[in-house]
Amino acid sequence: MLFFSFFKTLVDHPVTVELKNDISIRGTLKSVDQFLNIKLDDISVVEEVKYPHLSSVKNVFIRGSVVRYVHLPGSVVDTALLEDAARREAAQASAKAKAG
């Protein structure tokens, strides 16, 4: 749930999604769901010459499982908040593991 919430805070920001087949797609993050599927608007492929397949595509839905990286703009990420959230999620997970 942590990264789902995290990505929701990045909606409308420019991101670059690198897929497991090495294609990098730059675009505006429009939405994200619990599987970390991603919708991007106004896309461009980073190495257009090498991967011309998507030249005419304007927006995409990317299945979460094919994502390798998401390059994020460093300025919009509150690292202290994110770190706290990670600690809280870890505490919750270990509490759940003990209860269950």
Partner 1 sequence: MADAEQTESAPSEPLDLVRLSLDEMVFVKLRGDRELKGRLHVRKLHNAIARESRLTVVQAYDSHCNLVLGDVEETVYTVEEDEDGEESVKTLKKQSEMLFVRGDSVVLISPQPNT
Binding flag, residue 54, partner 1 (CB under 8 A)? no
Q: Which residues of 49-77 are buried (b: 16+ CB within 10 A; e: fewer)?
A: eebeeeeeeeeeebeeeeeeebebeeeee
Q: Which position among 36, 43, 46, 60 is part of the footprint of partner 1 (CB under 8 A)?
A: 36
Q: Which is nearer to partner 1, 33 or 55 (CB)?
A: 33
CA distance 29 to 56: 18
Q: Coil, helix or strand for 77? A: coil
Q: Which is nearer to partner 1, 1 or 49 (CB)?
A: 1
Residues that bind partner 1 (CB under 8 A): 1-3, 6-7, 20, 22, 36, 64-65, 67-74, 77, 79, 82-83, 85-87, 89-91, 93-95, 97-98
